[in-house]
Amino acid sequence: MKRNIKLLMEYDGSRYDGWQRLGKKSGGTTIQGKLEEVLSKMCQEPVELIGSGRTDAGVHARGQVANFHTDSAMKCWEMKYYLNRYLPQDIGVLYVSDVPDRFHSRLNAVSKRYIYRVAVGDVPCVFDRKYTWYCFDKLDIGRMKKAAALMMGEHDFKGFSSVKKTNKSTVRTVSRIDMDVRDRELDLIFEGNGFLYNMVRIMAGTLIEIGTGDREPESVTEVFRTKDREKAGITLPPQGLFLDEVIYP
149: Cβ–Cβ under 8 A, 6 or more apart, which residues? 177
Whether residue 147 contacts residue 209, with contact meaning beta carbons closer than 8 Å, is answered with no
**Residue 33, Cα to own-chain centre: how many angstroms?**
17
Q: How far apart are CA 116 and CA 247, in angstroms?
A: 18
Whether residue 229 contacts residue 162, with contact meaning beta carbons closer than 8 Å, is answered with yes
- The yes-or-no answer on residue 12 being catalytic is no
Q: Which helix (H) or strand (E) holds 4?
A: strand 3-11
> Catalytic one among 17, 56, 101, 122?
56
Q: How far apart are CA 185 and CA 70, in angstroms?
A: 43
Catalytic site positions: 56
